[in-house]
């Protein structure tokens, strides 16, 4: 190692400090959900579980949770289909415009969020004359979720190679049987990882969501934002926030086990 001992210690400390700062805000949220002080002053004056029981009976939050799950599931199914098709065509074939297509897949997430938001909002309302609803929201979410599925599936296809499929065809299976009995089982865990991460992305999205959701469509992030500035609702928002932080560990843990990529193809 070419670094001096002092430099190595310095790097270790810097990394430790940055990691600590990464987790402090999340820990603050966890503690505030049981903070007895209504204004959430620091340090907490005492602890209570009262906010948790209030949140468990909050009809608005539960309704929003239901909407978020429905939107997330529909967007995930669409993203799974489109992302898999795109990954299979880009991995297996060389064709004119191939690079343009792979750029197209990352574009909805690479362009700034407001651009995707206003472009889709404008396309629905001005060009197509479609009123915003739950369905327009699903279309918007599916558009930027494709890339997560795509990244997971294409990584798997690359590792898999084409030998097994060729063997299956040589042994007399037609292309449908080969897909169903060979390709699909090999992709299954990548699809599960991609689907989970697409769902998590949709579940959390707010920037594009506010541009493409109808008036009556309140997802959980919209509900949080609506209640964020109401002092009366702050304790319940804290509890919902805590639940979200704890839940976010689930998809990343499973995706890490399945795909071995902790970013899940998001970076």
Partner 1 sequence: MRTVSARSRLSSWLTRTPRARLALLLSAPLLWLGLAYIGALAALLITALWSTNAFTGQIERVWTLDNIRIVLTDPVYRAVTFRTIGVAVLVTLIDAALALPVAFFMAKVASPRWRPLLVAAILLPLWASYLVKAYAWRSMFGGGGLIDWLGAPFGITSPGYGLTATVCTLAYLWFPYMVLPIFAGLDRLPGSLLEAAGDLGARPGRILRTVVLPMVFPAVVAGSIFTFSLTLGDYVAVEIVGGTKQFLGNLVYDNIGAASNQPLAAAVGLVPVVVMIVYLSLSRRAGALEHL
Q: Smallest distance, Å, CB 50 to partner 1?
A: 18
CA gap 112, 114 in Å, rounded? 6
Q: Smallest distance, Å, CB 189 to partner 1?
A: 18
- Show the tokens assigned to 40: 């959430």
Please tell me the total number of residues recorded for the chain in this structure: 267
- Show the tokens assigned to 21: 């700062």
Q: Smallest distance, Å, CB 133 to partner 1?
A: 16
- Show the tokens assigned to 5: 């001992």
Which C-beta is closer to partner 1: that of 56 or that of 115?
Answer: 115
CA gap 68, 63 in Å, rounded? 9
Which C-beta is closer to partner 1: that of 12 or that of 188?
Answer: 12
Q: Is 131 exposed, middle or buried (0-12, 13-18, 19+ CB in 10 A)?
A: exposed
CA gap 72, 220 in Å, rounded? 11
3-state helix, strand, coil in the chain (%, to 5): 75, 0, 25
Which C-beta is closer to partner 1: that of 17 or that of 56?
Answer: 17
Q: How far from chain centre, in Å, is Cα 142?
A: 11
Q: Smallest distance, Å, CB 151 to partner 1?
A: 11
Q: Smallest distance, Å, CB 53 to partner 1?
A: 20
Cα angle 56, 57, 60; round to 5: 100
Which C-beta is closer to partner 1: that of 49 or that of 111?
Answer: 111
CA gap 142, 68 in Å, rounded? 13
Which C-beta is closer to partner 1: that of 32 or that of 217?
Answer: 32
Which C-beta is closer to partner 1: that of 57 or that of 126?
Answer: 126
Q: Smallest distance, Å, CB 113 to partner 1?
A: 4
């Amino acid at each position: 190692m070419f670094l001096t001992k002092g430099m190595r210690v310095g790097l270790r400390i810097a990394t430790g400090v940055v990691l600590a700062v990464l987790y402090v805000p999340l820990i603050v949220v966890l503690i505030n959900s049981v903070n007895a002080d209504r204004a959430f002053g620091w340090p907490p004056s005492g602890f209570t579980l009262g906010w948790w029981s209030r949140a468990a009976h909050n009809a608005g939050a539960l309704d929003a949770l239901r909407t978020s799950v429905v939107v997330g599931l529909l967007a995930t199914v669409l993203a799974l289909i489109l992302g898999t098709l795109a990954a299979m065509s880009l991995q297996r074939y060389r064709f004119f415009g191939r690079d343009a297509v792979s750029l197209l897949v990352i574009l909805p997430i690479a362009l700034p969020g407001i651009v995707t938001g206003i472009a889709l909002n404008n396309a629905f309302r001005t060009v197509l004359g479609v009123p915003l609803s739950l369905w327009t929201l699903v279309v918007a979410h599916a558009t930027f979720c494709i890339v997560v599925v795509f990244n997971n599936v294409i990584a798997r296809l690359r590792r898999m190679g084409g030998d097994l499929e060729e063997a299956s065809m040589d042994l007399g299976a037609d292309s449908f049987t080969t897909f169903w009995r060979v390709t699909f089982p090999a992709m299954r865990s990548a699809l599960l990882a991609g689907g989970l991460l697409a769902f998590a992305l949709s579940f959390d999205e707010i920037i594009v969501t506010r541009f493409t959701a109808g008036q009556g469509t309140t997802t959980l992030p919209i509900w949080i934002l609506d209640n964020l500035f109401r002092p009366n609702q702050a304790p319940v928002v804290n509890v919902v926030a805590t639940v979200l932080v704890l839940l976010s560990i689930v998809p990343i843990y499973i995706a890490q086990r399945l795909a071995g990529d902790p970013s899940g193809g998001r970076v």
